[in-house]
Amino acid sequence: MATKDEKETGADEAGKKPLKLSRPGRLELKKTVDGGQVRQSFSHGRSKTVAVEVKKRRTYAPGAGGKMKPVAAEAEPVEAPAPAPIAETSVPVETRPARGLTADERAARSKALEDAKQHDEFRRQQAEEEARRRSEEEAAERERQTAEAAKRAAEQAEVAHHEAEQQRGGPRVEMTPLAGTERAERTGARGGPRLSPRAQQILEADIAEEEEQRAQRQQGVRKPGARPVPARPAPGAGRRGEPRRRQGKLNVQRALDDDGGERTRSLASVRRAREREKLKARGEAEGDLKIVRDVVIPEAITVQELANRMAERGADVIKVLMRMGTMATITQTIDGDTAELIAGELGHRVRRVSAADVEVGLFDGGADTGDAVPRPPVVTVMGHVDHGKTSLLDAIRKTDVASGEAGGITQHIGAYQVTLPNDQKITFIDTPGHAAFTEMRARGANVTDIVVLVVAADDSVMEQTIEAIHHARAAKVPVIVAVNKVDKPDANPRRVRQDLLNHEIVPEDLGGDVQVIDVSAKTGAGLEKLEEAILLQAEILELKADAGRPAQGAVIEARLERGRGAVATLLVQRGTLHVGDIFVAGSEWGRVRALLDDRGNPVDAAGPAFPVEVLGLQGAPNAGDLFAVVENEAKAREVSEYRRSLQRDKIAKTAARGTLDEMFQRIAAGEIKELPVVIKADVQGSVEALAGALSKLGTDEVGARVLHSGVGGINESDITLARASNALIVGFNVRANPQAREIARRDHIDIRYYSIIYNVVDDIRAMLEGMLAPQMREKFLGNAEIREVFTVTKAGKVAGCMVTEGTVKRGARVRLLRDNVVIHEGTLKTLRRFKDEVREVKEGFECGMAFENYQDIQVGDVIECFEVEEVARALQA
């Protein structure tokens, strides 16, 4: 019996349709999409796997009355026109159901079907044409192979015939190579005589072998042990069997196509093949064409650079070196002679150059051209210290340069130009007179035309005066003597003339050819006569220079200034120096940024014999270096680099490894002591003068070693160097910056400032003298004669002595003399008077003495007492 709920539920469902399947079978869900993977192949052996989905067609559709009934699969719409052929189906298009298609759709389908038929017909015709052409090519190939086999058989038969004739002793026939046409006629390839049976047999064997190879190529197999058969070129391929080149642009369809995706030869490869064929046709081999090059070889060159200049492989160059007995790598440097042998071995022409060739033509030493014009004379003022050279020049220039020099002496070379009342000009070079500036004075004499030798009337000829005479004579320049300070009460110009005779300087008033002028820089007396003498001497010399050529000259002085960089004082000797010129000065180069005359005024150009200050150098050159204007920066860099390499080589030679090792060994053994010094000065000339003066202070035991020298203020790097080497820093007319001062104060680095070179030399001399080992000097104290020898249990043998001379002290050194021969030297163990230990015993008193570790004493021996004292040594001046 149904419950109440079941009845209500049945009543509700009675008015609704029951839930059931619309078609017979079970209710189930099936996948309408099937997944899979497809592998795509591309050119060059590449492939790719992609995922695809296949959708199923609906096989049921709602019919009349809402019931589902099976329907046939609809035909897939075809786009018209279709370039690709349409895949055929098992059901013809005419029999497919066309229910539901419009008239336009049926027309389009008919047109697509017609296009597909035409495409199939076109493909069939192409295949027939290709097969026909291939058969013709195979027939031609068989004919060619048959002809070649006939030729080979005829040649082999003829050779066999001649060998048989020679074995039977018949006449000897000389074999000569036959041309292609004659050989074909002899073998019967062109209708010649009939072949012999043996030749016919060889020909048939060759033809059979060719047919077998062709069959193997077609089947893609070959016999075990047989030679690989080369594949025939595809029909329509190039001359070497490669596929034809692609025409037009490459798109996705052509890239995925089997024919369009293959790799083809480049145009360059085709051209090279054609060139080889042409050479082969002319009978020339490609390897025989050796390109001979002109190889420029410097004094040293790397193997790689040599190979590049010869356009050879580096391995070939190394092989040549190995045959020569030299093992070298590709980056190793070889000398010019070896490189020349290698280039000659490889068949190239060699042109040797030197590193010094970069300076060829830089300083033309030839005579001036016809455009030379008169130039002012260059006068160098020389003389002893404090003889009034700078004061005399001040009187001429009407300036006060001497007041600016420290200590009243000139320590820099200055160049000035003076214009006289008659508009004539004279260029003066003022050189220091101290002995430390010998090199600077020598440079001044080398760039000068006339030397004015200043001699004080009260001091006469001094040491540096004689040295200046030697410099002037070495430079082969005329000398004019200016006897200065004639206004002093003790002046004696006559004595000066007499002293000059001792050095082969003969004045005119004594029958010589040297002009001697009495002047006074203080009162100005005789200055006009001195100027006239200079102009007269210049007129005799006929000084001329070509102002139109590039400038050349010498560096008078160089220094570093804050905000201006390297500043060099140049003396133009030939040509004209303009703003913007690129020039080389020593090992430095630069571009002229500004030109200043001797009074600090800017100028646009400097002609011959014109002294100027130049701004724009990369660094400070050395005083006395030559400078020259070059055409471009590349040339300037080459010359600068070459000169720097020369400086490095010079330093390396002076400080060789063996010499340094020996020096360090001597320092470690205490045989030599060094005082390291760092020198910083305001100008390059002062740096050289200080370094030269300190180098002369050394001896075999001690010496000053200049670790670093430069122009400019003392900076942090100088302090670091001094701290690492425990060196002394000498600042000559320069100061340390605040950071350097703080580091020096923290690390206790000694910085000493100087403005006069005498003080530098004196202080360094005192330091070196303090480093010298003191001299040990022996001082005699007294003698004692042994009168009796006592034996004490604890003390051993004790000598009872009488002091016969001087004093005997306890702690002093003693010698034991026997028959005036020293048999022992040592120290006293004890010194007593009676039972008391005493410090000393004077002459006439008795005492007891015992030696330290020595017992062999006898009556009559003499004990000599002495002490050794240290005496400080001094460096010889």
Q: ∠ at Cα 232 (231, 233), nearest 5°? A: 115
Residue 459 has pLDDT above 70, yes or no: yes
Residue 483 has pLDDT above 80, yes or no: yes
* Residue 502 pLDDT: 85
Token pair, residue 819, equals 């028959």
What is the per-residue burial (b if ≥16 Cβ within 10 Å, else e) of 534-551?
bbebbeeeebebbbebbb
H or E stretch covering 182: helix 180-187
Cis before 81? omega within 30 = yes
pLDDT class for 593, splitting at 50, 70, 90?
A: very high
Q: How many CB atoms lie within 10 A of CB 510?
A: 13
The greatest distance separating any two alpha carbons of the chain, rounded to the nearest whole angstrom, comes to: 175
* Residue 286 pLDDT: 46
Task: List the single range of 29-33, 285-289, 591-595 with lowest mean pLDDT.
Answer: 285-289
Residue 254 has pLDDT above 80, yes or no: no
Residue 25 has pLDDT above 60, yes or no: no
- Single-letter residue type at 665: Q
H or E stretch covering 634: helix 633-654
Given a contact cutoff of 8 angstroms between Cβ atoms, the answer to whether 458 and 488 are in contact is: yes
- φ/ψ of residue 422, rounded to 5: -90, 20
Which has the closest alpha carbon to 624: 743, 471, 510? 471
pLDDT tens readout for residues 725-747: 788 899 998 898 888 888 888 88
- φ/ψ of residue 296, rounded to 5: -90, 120
* Residue 173 pLDDT: 42
Residues 6 or more apart in contact with residue 640 via CB below 8 angstroms = 584, 587, 588, 589, 618
- Average pLDDT of span 435-449: 60
> Domain residue spans in the chain?
80-85+107-156, 294-353, 391-545, 552-649, 667-771, 775-871
What is the per-residue burial (b if ≥16 Cβ within 10 Å, else e) of 706-724?
bbbbbbbbbeeebbebbee
Residues 6 or more apart in contact with residue 720 via CB below 8 angstroms = 743
Task: List the single range of 24-28, 494-498, 845-849 with lowest mean pLDDT.
Answer: 24-28
* Residue 592 pLDDT: 92
In percent, the amount of the chain with pLDDT more than 70 equals 69
Residue 653 has pLDDT above 80, yes or no: no
* Residue 75 pLDDT: 44
Taking each helix axis from N to C end, the angle separating 684-695 and 757-771, rounded to the nearest 10 degrees, works out to 30
How far does Cα 158 stand from its chain's mean position? Answer: 72
Identify the top-confidence range among 325-329, 461-465, 673-677, 756-760: 325-329
Token pair, residue 120, equals 């199939």
* Residue 591 pLDDT: 92
Residues 6 or more apart in contact with residue 365 via CB below 8 angstroms = none
Taking each helix axis from N to C end, the angle separating 527-541 and 389-397, rounded to the nearest 10 degrees, works out to 90
Residue 235 has pLDDT above 50, yes or no: no
Given a contact cutoff of 8 angstroms between Cβ atoms, the answer to whether 406 and 733 are in contact is: yes
Residue 206 has pLDDT above 60, yes or no: yes
CATH number for the segment(s) 667-771: 3.40.50.10050
* Residue 32 pLDDT: 63
Which has the closest alpha carbon to 516: 481, 550, 553, 491? 481
* Residue 731 pLDDT: 92
Identify the top-confidence range among 301-305, 461-465, 706-710: 301-305
* Residue 20 pLDDT: 60
Token pair, residue 867, equals 């002490």
pLDDT class for 657, splitting at 50, 70, 90?
A: very low
| Sign for the pseudo-dihedral over CA of 191, 192, 198, 202 | negative
Helix then strand count (H, E) for the chain reads 20, 37
- Average pLDDT of span 798-822: 88
Residues 6 or more apart in contact with residue 656 via CB below 8 angstroms = none
Residue 328 has pLDDT above 50, yes or no: yes
* Residue 250 pLDDT: 61
* Residue 545 pLDDT: 85
Q: Is pLDDT larger for residue 476 or for residue 603?
A: 603
Q: Is pLDDT larger for residue 24 or for residue 336?
A: 336
Residue 110 has pLDDT above 80, yes or no: yes
d(C-alpha 611, C-alpha 413), whole Å: 12
d(C-alpha 810, C-alpha 377), whole Å: 79
- Average pLDDT of span 136-147: 86
The SS3 call for residue 487 is coil
Tokens 């000009």, residue? 425
* Residue 262 pLDDT: 52
As a whole number, the mean pLDDT across the chain is: 75
pLDDT tens readout for residues 674-684: 788 899 988 87
Return the CATH architecture of domain 552-649: Beta Barrel (2.40)
* Residue 246 pLDDT: 57
Token pair, residue 624, equals 């006395």
* Residue 318 pLDDT: 92
pLDDT class for 670, splitting at 50, 70, 90?
A: low
Domain covering 294-353, topology: Arc Repressor Mutant, subunit A (1.10.10)
pLDDT tens readout for residues 150-184: 888 887 777 777 666 666 654 444 444 444 444 44
Which has the closest alpha carbon to 731: 765, 685, 690, 681? 681
CATH 3.30.360.10, applies to 775-871:
no
CATH number for the segment(s) 391-545: 3.40.50.300
Q: Is pLDDT larger for residue 256 or for residue 233?
A: 256
H or E stretch covering 331: none
Given a contact cutoff of 8 angstroms between Cβ atoms, the answer to whether 375 and 382 are in contact is: no
Residue 259 has pLDDT above 80, yes or no: no
Residues 6 or more apart in contact with residue 50 via CB below 8 angstroms = 37, 38, 39, 40
DSSP classification of residue 406? G
Residue 107 has pLDDT above 60, yes or no: yes
Given a contact cutoff of 8 angstroms between Cβ atoms, the answer to whether 199 and 157 are in contact is: yes
What is the per-residue burial (b if ≥16 Cβ within 10 Å, else e) of 488-502?
eeebbbeebbebbee
Q: Is pLDDT larger for residue 860 or for residue 155?
A: 860
Residue 70 has pLDDT above 50, yes or no: yes
d(C-alpha 261, C-alpha 264), whole Å: 9
pLDDT tens readout for residues 620-651: 887 778 888 988 888 888 888 888 887 777 76
Residue 6 has pLDDT above 70, yes or no: no
d(C-alpha 496, C-alpha 499), whole Å: 5
Given a contact cutoff of 8 angstroms between Cβ atoms, the answer to whether 508 and 514 are in contact is: yes
| DSSP calls for 118-150 | HHHHHHHHHHHHHHHHHHHHHHHHHHHHHHHHH
Residue 111 has pLDDT above 70, yes or no: yes
Same fold, 391-545 and 667-771: yes
pLDDT class for 317, splitting at 50, 70, 90?
A: very high
Which has the closest alpha carbon to 698: 782, 794, 767, 611? 767
* Residue 69 pLDDT: 65
pLDDT tens readout for residues 333-346: 888 889 999 998 88
Which has the closest alpha carbon to 459: 383, 381, 380, 382? 383
Token pair, residue 263, equals 């790799």
Token pair, residue 419, equals 């214009």
- Average pLDDT of span 532-558: 86
* Residue 229 pLDDT: 47
Residue 287 has pLDDT above 70, yes or no: no
pTM of the model: 0.48
- φ/ψ of residue 716, rounded to 5: -70, -35
Task: List the single range of 356-370, 480-494, 511-525, 562-576 with lowest mean pLDDT.
Answer: 356-370
Please state whether 309 falls in left (phi above 0), alpha (psi between -120 and 50) or beta. Answer: alpha
Given a contact cutoff of 8 angstroms between Cβ atoms, the answer to whether 350 and 342 are in contact is: no
